[in-house]
A and B are shown apart, each in its own frame.
Chain A
Amino acid sequence: MKNRYSFRRTATVLIALALALSACATNNTANNTSNNAAANTGSGAAAAGDTKETAADDTAAAQGGELSYALATSPDSLDPHRSGLAVAVRVIRTIYDSLVVQLPDNSIKPWLATSWTVSEDGKSYTFKLREDVKFHDGTPFNAEAVKYNFDRILDSATKAANAAALLAPYQSSEVIDEYTVKLNLATPSRAFLGNLSQALLGIVSPTAAKKDGDQFGQHPVGTGPYKFVSWQENAEIKVARNESYAWAPEIVKNTGAPYLDGIAFKIVPEEATRIGSVQSGQVLAGETVPPQNIVALKSDPNFQLLSANTVGLPYTLFFNLERAPWNDAKARQAVKYAVDVDAIVKTLYLGTYDRAWSPLTPGTFGYDATLENSVKPDIEKANALLDELGWTKGADGIREKDGKKLTLQYVDATPNREKRNDIAVIIQQQLKAIGIAVNVEITKDVRTVVFTNGAYDLYGNSQVNSDPNALYAFYHTYDPKGRASLSRLSDPAIDKLLEQGLVEPDDTKRAEIYKEIQHYIVDQAIVLPIYVFPYTVAAAKSVEGIVFDSLGYPLFNDATVKP
């Protein structure tokens, strides 16, 4: 008897489960346009925003109000020197200021530093600092604070991640007087000022950083337009207006304290829920809009879509140049001619992402626009190149040579960020047409598979960066004792160019150097550039004044919420 009942129960549960599974899908047939379904299934985080919203509505006019802003993932830390995630930078940028700011035309302007001089040899920078700046905790901002900050990044006890890479080749600081500081570099670097403008080199309060130690990332204190209020793990981060703020950079209009009372960053990882929360009014803005929703939002009169192309390295597929047969330029070129990047961008991103042509993105200093439209898919050429190398098609349509199949190990990470796994699916089909068997490996452990073992023929990556020197880490011969570069390229001529690019004082000559490097990389098919990632924000029409910095991060100094 007992068995019989448990069977029935199992069966009932199963049917219920099956129905629930399909219900997810069928419900939406009706809600195709209203989008309620996505919003209603939303997480607690989004629902919690409702009550706060109404509270904010009471304070009328442009001044005041709270902006709720849905983030795609949770920041790892709000300590700029320790954080390694782009999503953290969206919050970090509101709490901290940098010494200088980079404008979209790549020029460097004052921020916390009023002026600076560079020594003849390019190895020391002397900054005059603003004298009216105070941290949120009342600590005065001065030369000592700057010295403390950069020495903190250098200190191995801090375990600085990306910040340490950005600060290189910084060596030491000298406090000249209360508001003058001299930074010494080991070698000249043309990327240094641009790097200083990045949020990860933002200035933290020395008092708070000393007091909180490792916990500083949970209690951040800076000089920025917003003060940190609270952080609920995986739910919400709140910041409030810094009333005494008066040192905004040139990139925003409002030089004083921000108009908003505060910003509530909600963490809503699920794409459909995030966009649904914006559409249902649970949050006022949400970041990283999937392409299919961009198309729909653009035609919706109640919402606006803000977008800024990120700069640095586009999403690029790197060949591992140490693995045969892809160490042969002809084999790589065959792949280059067989992969139809336009088709990928058109189908997966519905034309909302720009196709990348070069290892650098447009907007980065030295970007070579002549590379645009330089590659056209050409299956015959691709086949001819492989024939030339002696790979002949076998019975199953896959090429062989000396009894070995022509395979390509394509590694990508899970979860499927920006539909990158789907790119793998398409390339697998496109390369099958010229007789290459693509083995797609989706792994959670990219660190081991790619960086430690180097077990890939093709692996994609991108990097947001303010300077073309970003290429150095990817294409310069790597230190055999250190971490291998993604391309594992080792070409003395390119090494020399990359080293020159880093120090060349003349802008025109410097741009020429980077153009030469880009041409080489594209001609030799070291990589396949795929798309330029646009940072997108879906917002209610009542939100105004969100602008983007030169790297594509949002700034909220000018932002207002109309009641």
Chain B
Amino acid sequence: MREAITAKAVWRERGRRQLASLRFRRIAAADALLVLAGAVVLLIIACAIVPGWIAPYAPTEMLTDNILKPPSTDHLFGTDYFGRDIFSVVVHGSRDSLFIGFASVLIGGLAGGIIGAVSGYVGGIADTILMRCNDILMTIPGILLALAIAGALGPGMFNIVLAVAVASIPGYARVMRAQIISIKSRTFIAASSSMGASPMHIFWRHVLPNALSPLLVMATIGIGTSILTGSGLSFLGLGLLREVPDWGTLLSQGRGYLTVAWWMCTFPGLAITLFVLAVNIIGDRLRDDMDPKKRRVRG
């Protein structure tokens, strides 16, 4: 048991060091980019939480006398063919887009993580069966899988989340399994086991905490992917026609007006691009910080 406590202490110490490195080393140098990305993400999350404080109009308000107006001081992003203020619709639409992103990563990451962990830790026949099923899922490109699922389930918020989540499961499962297997073969696990720790104890105390960090990084980047996939699905008309459209739906609605009103597609498109880009930058940096090899090189 003493060994276990020591391992925990090591883990805690490492976490402290990571935080410290974030605090001092990063911000000092060339990380205006990270700060910017963080600001963008925070701003968009704020939009999703309190859209009413930010948007000047209600997203459903149709100013029928002001249709297809280009960006101006009254309408920052212009108006669409319903006469809605595009800025307000984009702000309000962030809620659904972000919900799709976060919810599907949560579901997909959890399911994939469990599958990968079971597969990697239990091994044997369970591993074979789970991984072959995973391989089958992997043979289908993620977006295609999501399309097929959304098509079969029909339009709906939850169905989109489910479609995007299922499509992301194989990736998480693979990473989790590889991570677990590599940690399983480390000497401190063997030591722990030889001291009589039960497999469950070893899993919860040693294997899982050490295997989580790549999954967290992957999930962060996955939020971007999911928002993109979700927007793609609603762009293709597989989403639900809601009162407040999400970004993908907005793009889809503006598509036919590209030649006469560029602003209808541009701003929702920019919102998607910015958010995905920002999340990726953060994910990238998170990965660097959690990667012990990389840290050694830099330090």
Residues on A facing B (Cβ under 8 Å): 1, 3-4, 7-8, 10-11, 14-15, 17-19, 21-22, 24-26, 28-29, 31-32, 35, 37-38, 271-272, 275-276, 290, 292-293, 295-296, 343, 346-348, 350, 414-416, 421-422, 424-426, 428-429, 432, 440-444
Contact = CB atoms under 8 A, between A and B. Distances in A.
B82 interface: yes
A292 B257 contact: yes
B25 to A, nearest CB: 19
21 contacts: A1-B293, A7-B283, A7-B287, A14-B276, A22-B272, A25-B265, A29-B266, A31-B259, A32-B262, A38-B258, A290-B256, A292-B68, A292-B260, A347-B62, A347-B81, A347-B82, A348-B82, A425-B241, A426-B62, A440-B241, A442-B240
B88 interface: no
A28 B262 contact: yes
A3 B175 contact: yes
A32 B257 CA distance: 10
Given A7-B287, A440-B241, A296 B276 contact: no
A18 B272 contact: yes
Contacts of A18: 224, 228, 272-273, 276-277
Given A10-B225, A17-B228, A24-B265, A348 B81 contact: yes
A424 B237 CA distance: 14
Interface of B: 60, 62, 64, 67-68, 81-83, 151, 154-155, 175, 178, 214, 217-218, 221, 224-225, 228, 231, 237, 240-241, 243, 251, 253-262, 265-266, 269-270, 272-273, 276-277, 280, 283-284, 287, 291, 293-294
Nearest to B214: A3
6 closest A-B pairs by CB: A25-B265, A25-B266, A22-B269, A25-B269, A22-B273, A18-B273
A286 to B, nearest CB: 14
Nearest to B228: A17
A429 B270 contact: no
Given A17-B228, A272-B259, A11 B269 contact: no
Nearest to B243: A428
B141 to A, nearest CB: 12
Given A7-B287, A11-B280, A14-B280, 16 more contacts: A3-B214, A4-B287, A4-B291, A18-B273, A22-B269, A22-B272, A24-B265, A24-B269, A25-B251, A25-B262, A25-B270, A28-B258, A292-B260, A347-B64, A424-B241, A429-B60
A456 to B, nearest CB: 14
Contact of B218 (A7, A37, A347, A421): A7
Contact of B221 (A11, A31, A292): A11
Contacts of B241: 421, 424-425, 440-442
Contacts of B280: 11, 14-15
A271 B269 CA distance: 20
A411 B81 CA distance: 22
Contacts of B256: 271-272, 290, 292
A414 B253 CA distance: 13
A19 B273 contact: yes
A388 B218 CA distance: 59
B93 to A, nearest CB: 14
A362 B26 CA distance: 72
Contacts of A29: 262, 266
A14 B225 contact: yes
B54 to A, nearest CB: 21
Contacts of B291: 4
Nearest to A31: B259
Contacts of B294: 4
B182 to A, nearest CB: 10
Nearest to A432: B60
Nearest to B257: A292
Given A7-B287, A32-B259, A429-B60, A22 B225 contact: no
A10 B269 contact: no
A272 B258 contact: yes
A347 B262 contact: no
Contacts of B67: 347, 350
B258 A11 contact: no
Contacts of A444: 151, 154
B125 to A, nearest CB: 26
B224 A14 contact: yes
B156 to A, nearest CB: 10
Nearest to B276: A18
Nearest to B178: A3
Nearest to B239: A442
Nearest to B225: A14
Contacts of A348: 81-82
Contacts of A425: 82, 241, 243
B143 to A, nearest CB: 10
A272 B81 CA distance: 16
Contacts of A26: 262, 266, 269
Contacts of A443: 154-155
A290 B253 CA distance: 13
